[in-house]
Structure 1
Amino acid sequence: MSRARAVQTYPLVLVQYRSPSQEYGDERKFEWALQVQVDKRRLKGPIFRVIDMDGTFSESGAWWMYVMEDGTLRYDPLCYGGIQIGEIHPLGLNRLREVIQGHQLVPKRGSWRSRHWALEVMEILKGHGWIRHDLVPRRLEKGMFLPEFRRLSRVRVSSPEGENAPYPPVTFY
């Protein structure tokens, strides 16, 4: 008798980063990115980020996306943790890349940030079945993630190594 093997999926994680000018406690203003953790133990996998063109994290209005294919959250003092927002089957990874990279970077207002981009992309990912079931029926808003991001920031800075901790905290579901 053979057993059916469980299908392995990769966690899809919403990640928060502080800019160099921000400090713990500014989570409401932190930048957001998306990561597919193909190696959960090492917090490693493609990271999708958008940044303003001048790299100052200002509200310049011009944005670009970059993808770190072998990105890791380890040893990044600006990463303050992540929340698993979904999962993806390994065979769907290329399609996910196409969907994310195909989303137009069009700021809707002057205060548009990477947080807005992440929320827009997550709404699109719902239609592909890649977002957690408890999030699907709800309109995704920044405020629904902030309490957990604040908790993760506290965990990060209260660890013995503080911002130099090798692993930022990640909440998995």
Structure 2
Amino acid sequence: MNLIVSFLTRTPVIIAAFVATIVVGWSFTLIIAAVDGALLDTILTGDEASARLAEMTGDQRYVHFIGTIANDTLFPIAYGSFFAGLAARFAPEKLRTWVVLPALATVIVDLAENTVQALALSGTADYLGFKDVLTPLKYGLFYLSLILALGFAALALARWLVRRLNS
């Protein structure tokens, strides 16, 4: 785990993860336009996701499937790396391993949710009921990771400003 934390806390990795998060996040606007409505990722329950899936044409399902496989595989890796790296970079040494766990868990949960959605979009299997747990868990872990990353970065900035003002 120390090797992962050491890699994620490097400045070029944090910057690259941030840029990837922005670029991949923006690319979802193209998918949303192509499917003419909400993506399954933003729908919290399996029943609502099933209803949305039933509204889609075959072409919309295909575009959503490709977006899920490509964009929404890269997106959690990008934002998870950014949140984990930023939090660990500015957290006290003894907390570094712990503060990356919510971000890494978010990636795993988001990828599990993507698998459920990809199976449904491809017509292979319908496990959308798992969204009742996966999607709220994903969002909860996402926001916890965001708070940890921004919180430790803000504390580091405040400490830096205090040191600068006192010198």
Pairwise TM-score range, normalised by the shorter structure = under 0.3
Higher strand share: 1
TM-score normalised by structure 1 residue count: 0.26
TM-score, length of structure 2 as denominator length: 0.26
